[in-house]
Amino acid sequence: MRDFYGTALANPLMLGTAQYPSPAVLEAAFRASGAAVATVSLRREAGQGQSFWQIIKGLGVPVLPNTAGCHSAREAITTAQMARELFETNWIKLEVIGHADTLQPDPFGLLQATEALAADGFEVFPYTTEDQVLAARLLDAGAKVLMPWGAPIGSGLGLNNRYGLRTLRAAFPDVPMVIDAGLGLPSHAADALEMGFDAVLLNTAVAQAGDPVAMARAFALAVQAGVVARRADPMAPRDMAKPSTPVLGKAWL
């Protein structure tokens, strides 16, 4: 598994910390997931208080603050600077939202913020689309990780543009990539890892499940399956049938 700015993760699952029924359920679900990174919104943490922050620190995993809810480069940059001071990390999941309904990233603001934050010593995880041109620009701006969306945030639709994601993965084979947003089922996570992505990030699929702890366990199993399947070099799809029983040796009547 590729590392992320020099940090190797024992598990390809990154899990968000929002929308859980209670802090106790959050902690239990996170531990059941085996996730290697906890994502935290600066705005959400500020509203939760010290007890929430103690839970996050107690998880014993790296924290990836995000700029959720920011709609301009300037707003995202300011939020990132505040997050670095509060969480004491140079990691930042950079979100610059450009569309109110789909929550699609604003490519222009995202690129501007990435360039400014990378120059300021941040290790940027940009939430982006599967656009290869934008990906190349983000890497040129200083990002060393890409986080393409699977589908709109919170939609649970899975991998909407499989062709786009496959070609993005193939175009930048050495760049660590995390599928971020839109995953709703454990099978979606396994699918992303089988496709060759290095990790998945999700939140709503676990937090808003009827049983978040059970769903977290399901995702833990799914990411393991996805990694093992990828390493096993799965067969390529075929357009036509191919018999599994050879014709050689068949009795002709």
User: Catalytic residues, which ones?
Assistant: 93
Beta bridge partners of 73: none
Starting at the earlier edge strand, list the strands of the sheet with 37-41: 147-148, 123-128, 91-94, 63-66, 37-41, 13-16, 199-202, 178-180
| In the chain, beta strands by DSSP E | 13-16, 37-41, 63-66, 91-94, 123-128, 147-148, 178-180, 199-202
CA nearest neighbour of 211 among 33, 4, 7: 33
| Other beta carbons less than 10 A from residue 124's beta carbon | 27
- Helix (H, G, I), strand (E, B), or coil: what is residue 124? strand
- Helix (H, G, I), strand (E, B), or coil: what is residue 192? helix
State how far the Cα of 182 lies from the Cα of 48, in Å rounded to an integer. 25
Cα-Cα end-to-end distance for the chain: 54
Q: Extract the tokens encoding 145.
A: 């990780």
